[in-house]
Every structure is written in structure tokens, then in C-alpha cells.
Chains A and B, each alone.
Chain A
């Protein structure tokens, strides 16, 4: 079945440094949608950005990601981390055979002053 791998459980970095959260996925279907959801403390998880187009950069709120089907990756990046970016980030996959979204185990981003 479909699966999403987020190898880093915790990423800690200093404010102002670039952010990169890794995400790889597995699916047998060619038409896959990839998502990044962000979960701030005491809030509900919400969609950050999404893509289904190969090699096209998607941006939202300073974050960006590019779906690379050749490597089955959808890494989340930001040029300069802010303290307010500290949260739990989930990469997720929705393939064409099902309507459910499969999530990774999440990466907690901790930005320090």
C-alpha cells in the first residue's frame, strides 16, 4: 500500500538558518497528490501546501516544495527559519486509487533564538 517516510523525528535549528524537512513516498500509482500539513501546539493540523505536478515548485507562507516523481520525494524548504515556524510537520500522500490521505510520522521543527 501507499506509504510516506519522514526520517527525521526532530529537527532543531537556529533562527535565520534554512529549513529542509525530508519526505519520500511510495505508491504504485502515477497520479499522486503530495501534501504538507502543519500542526501548531494547541491548534488543529492545517494544510500548508500541496502538489501533483512533477518538477514544479509550490510555495505558501514562505515555505516551498517540489514534487520529484523520479526520486519519489517532496521535501519542504524555507530559506530562513523563524521562531514561529516551530511546529509538527506532516508529509502526506493521496493516490488515485483511494480518497484517504496517508500521513508520515511527522517531523517536529524546533527553532531556537
Chain B
């Protein structure tokens, strides 16, 4: 079990460019979550999927952020027209089921730097 795999580990992008982040959840986990980690906000919820269906995207900045889960083996987070304030560590997590008391397994994260 390789755990939750996130690629790339680091990404540097110029202001205004697009960034796509990838997440491969643990096989058999039905829920996938995306969080953004910053010093000021801590771990900030972005969105989550259950059995590939989008369930809650209340944390997503609507205009430039989008997330998809085209199959059970991967999810993507896309940021269009990146801005310096998007610089953060983006963490993906999966859990066996999307229910209360279901533990998260986090990936190592993608550190995004927008210059």
C-alpha cells in the first residue's frame, strides 16, 4: 500500500499560468478530500468527492479553482490564472468511507509557489 500519492511534490508557476495537481487515493477508499495548508489559515477545506461524485465544494474559490475525479484512481485540482496568494501546500486525503469517524490518510502534498 503506497498510501495517498500526490504529484508533483513541488510546482513553481508564473502568475497568470495554470496549475494542475494530481492525487491518487488509496485503493478501495471511497472518499477523497482536498485541503490547502498555509501558516495563517492552517488546513483549509476545499472540496470532497464520494464515489467519484462531487459532494461539497464549499471551500473552493469559485472563479479559478476546479476539481474533478474522472475515475476512482485519481483526482485533479486545477487552478487557472494562478495568483501569488495561491501559494500553499495542497493536501489530498482519502478515507475508507465518507462518514463520521472515518480516519483520513493524507498524501505528502504539493507545494505550489506562484511567482
Q: A interface vs B, CB < 8 Å?
A: 6, 31, 33, 37, 43-47, 50, 52, 90, 92, 94-96, 98-106
Contact = CB atoms under 8 A, between A and B. Distances in A.
B103 interface: yes
Most buried by A among B55, B101, B107: B101
A99 B33 CA distance: 10
A90 B43 contact: yes
Given A52-B101, A100-B56, A102-B45, 5 more contacts: A43-B108, A46-B106, A94-B101, A100-B45, A101-B45
B102 interface: yes
B104 A101 contact: yes
Interface in B20-75: 31, 33, 35, 40-45, 48, 50, 55-56
B4 interface: yes
B4 to A, nearest CB: 7
Given A100-B56, A106-B43, A33 B101 contact: yes
